[in-house]
Structure 1
Amino acid sequence: MERMNVNPTRMMLTSLKKRLKTAVRGHKLLKDKRDELMKEFLDLARENGRLREDVEKRLGEVYKNFTVASSIMSQEVMEESLMFPKQGVELQVSSRNIMSVDVPVFDFRTTAEDPADIFPYGFARTSGELDNAISELSDIFPILLELAAKEKETALLAAELEKTRRRVNALEYVMIPRLQVTIKYIQMKLDENERGNQTRLMKVKDMMLEEAIAEKKAKDEAAIERMVESRQ
């Protein structure tokens, strides 16, 4: 791992150690978030699959009834019967937060006073299969909204999960190792400088000791010479 291009000083060493501590703590928090997001995503994917299977099965029955009704009724009567819908809905969109991700929540209310009033035609000229298809569509509509919300929620969680995974990997395989290598390099440089300083101090001490010994020797020799001269 390539180290960072910094000056090997004690101040920089202290700063990098603080950054490493923060990175390690952030890595743990992001890993916990990633694991929780994965759990939420898997639960949501299973629920989404169950809803989709249910909707596809029920829509299959709706298409079947429409096909039978189309074969029994004339095209003109079919179009006339469905031309002016009697019931409408007003969609309301809110949101809720899952692991810092805002996901949509869909709700609706019918525009007519009676929610069961869904048939825009009389029953004399239409077939029972058309009635069944419209009734089944009315029953499926809340599930379709729930499925739409779940699929959007799944997509948002998947995007957040991928973003969190990239951050975890960047910290685990790039940032933290790079900080560790740089800290080790600075520590080695500082230790090397300290050993160099100690070696220089020892040399200076030896030189001072030699000078002191030489000076003492010179003084002793001078004293001996004076004693010899005084006896003569």
Structure 2
Amino acid sequence: MSSRQLLRITRPTKLELIRLRRRLAVARRIHRILRDRLTLIVQEFFIVVKKLYRMRRELNELLELAYRGYSQAYAFYGHRELSLLSNPLATGVEVYAATRNIVGVRAPLIELKSYPKEHSIILPPETLTIYRVRARVLELLVSIAELEKELQVLGIEFERTKRRVNMLEHVLIPRILNTIKYLRSKFEEREREEKTRMKRIKTVLTRRRGVAIL
């Protein structure tokens, strides 16, 4: 057996064998926990993907609706008139950003703290569609940004956890098992040698007794 397949041990003693058995039990327990965690991360990942798909579809529909309204207004009023009308409506929004815990992963939390203010400006009928959907578009943009970042951190955590699972499954646990097997074979070899030695001693003593009797 190659030394690369074994753990480094100070001396092949039975106490070391007991320690290795305990270490094997801990490694298997951690491996099981990490595999369960990996399953949860994958489940959460696909939940987020579905949410993101629905939100992107809704956003595309709203943007398409707004674009049709803008095209009509542009054809009717031209770029200059539309710019003059939209300037009073250009208000800022506040965004709240924090983090939250999802399956043990620090994921972003982004929320709109304030929405565009309502104005008493009389708008052309062709631009009303844009004005009505803009709040929902902002909500969707913020939510999509949050979900995309969440997917990113989940993906990073998945890769990190997967590496640890693979290391335990394909490196550490097999090495512990091989080392335990190696120690057992050493102890069995010692036991056989001890039995052979005792037989030789017994044979020598028996012969000496026979000589003494003669």
TM exceeding 0.5: yes
Instruction: Give the TM-score category using the shorter length.
Output: 0.7 to 0.9
What amino acid does structure 2 have at the position aligned with 1:63?
Answer: Y
TM-score (norm 2): 0.88
Cα deviation 1:50-92 (Å, max 9, x = unaligned):
1111111111111222222122113222222223445322111
Question: Partner residue of 2:163?
Answer: 166
Aligned positions, number: 210
Cα deviation 1:38-57 (Å, max 9, x = unaligned):
11111221111111111111
Contact 1:87/1:110 (CA < 8 Å) preserved in 2?
A: no
Q: Distance in 2 between matches of 1:56 and 1:166?
A: 37
Q: Distance in 1 between matches of 2:19 and 2:92?
A: 64
Q: Distance in 2 between matches of 1:155 and 1:64?
A: 33
Root mean square deviation of aligned Cα: 2.1
The more displaced of 24-33 and 142-151 is 142-151
Q: Counterparts in 2 of 1:128-139, with a 5 A limit?
A: 128-139=125-136
Larger Rg belongs to: 1
How far did 1:184 drift?
0.5
Query: Where do 5+ consecutive residues of structure 1 fail to align?
Result: 218-232
What amino acid does structure 2 have at the position aligned with 1:3?
Answer: L
**C-alpha distance 77-179 of structure 1, shift in aligned 2 (>3 A):** same
What amino acid does structure 2 have at the position aligned with 1:76?
Answer: R
Q: Distance in 2 between matches of 1:72 and 1:42?
A: 45
Give the secondary-structure state (helix, strand or coil) at the position aligned to 2:203. Answer: helix
How far did 1:203 drift?
0.9
Q: Distance in 2 between matches of 1:178 and 1:167?
A: 15
Residue 187 in structure 1 maps to residue 190 in structure 2: no
% identical equivalent positions: 28
Of residues 3, 14, 20, the one that matches 2:6 is 3
Contact 1:103/1:152 (CA < 8 Å) preserved in 2?
A: yes
Q: Distance in 2 between matches of 1:186 and 1:84?
A: 82
Q: Distance in 1 between matches of 2:50 and 2:119?
A: 32
Cα deviation 1:23-52 (Å, max 9, x = unaligned):
101111011111111111112211111111
The more displaced of 87-96 and 4-13 is 4-13
